[in-house]
Chains A and B, each alone.
Chain A
Amino acid sequence: DAGITQSPRHKVTETGTPVTLRCHQTENHRYMYWYRQDPGHGLRLIHYSYGVKDTDKGEVSDGYSVSRSKTEDFLLTLESATSSQTSVYFCAISEGDRFADTQYFGPGTRLTVL
């Protein structure tokens, strides 16, 4: 257990509404990531953070924003949810060790946008 929780675990929302997903870690790791998993696409990076208030875009960042005001929390916001954002969202953490870096994943959030 890598000490990562995600909330909510399931959410159904309507098109056009804002949605915020939360990732919480107890490991004090520097790096945190948000991915989405879709059939045929594997895991794709949305945004990541390398420290408090330090974030950067991943490969599928359009329509998403993130914030990290504390080491332990990384929030993903869908500014105006669309049906194409229906997916399973995973948070991950890593120490950022150049020689032995491993990412550990949370249990996921299943989001349905109607």
Chain B
Amino acid sequence: DQQVKQNSPSLSVQEGRISILNCDYTNSMFDYFLWYKKYPAEGPTFLISISSIKDKNEDGRFTVFLNKSAKHLSLHIVPSQPGDSAVYFCAASASTSGTYKYIFGTGTRLKVLA
């Protein structure tokens, strides 16, 4: 059973507009979340993280929102640029597990149109 879900396999957005990528999780023990960006033929690159003690974290054009009651997080990219075109993965971890294992979603392919 998929504990971390990215239900939109793909998303297209016009350059300059906002991109919103969504991620849902089922395990209420998850308390630390990461977002990664992946270009073809490269390894995933860390983008931004959020701990469950926060509901928002910003880093430049990237903001992650966490809604614990809904078990939902989203990544906002504003403004979107053509270089943002990539596959985005969310990942979740439970610090109480005593390990540092992450469960990854299946990814959303973002295409930013010039």
Contact = CB atoms under 8 A, between A and B. Distances in A.
A66 to B, nearest CB: 14
Given A43-B89, A98-B95, A105 B104 contact: no
Interface residues on B, range: 20 to 34
Interface in B7-55: 32, 34, 36, 41-46, 49, 51
Contacts of A102: 34, 46, 49
Given A94-B100, A102-B46, A105-B43, A42 B34 contact: no
A96 B44 contact: no
Interface of B: 6, 32, 34, 36, 41-46, 49, 51, 89, 91, 93, 95, 99-107
Interface of A: 4, 31, 33, 35, 40-45, 48, 50, 56, 58-59, 90, 94, 96, 98-108
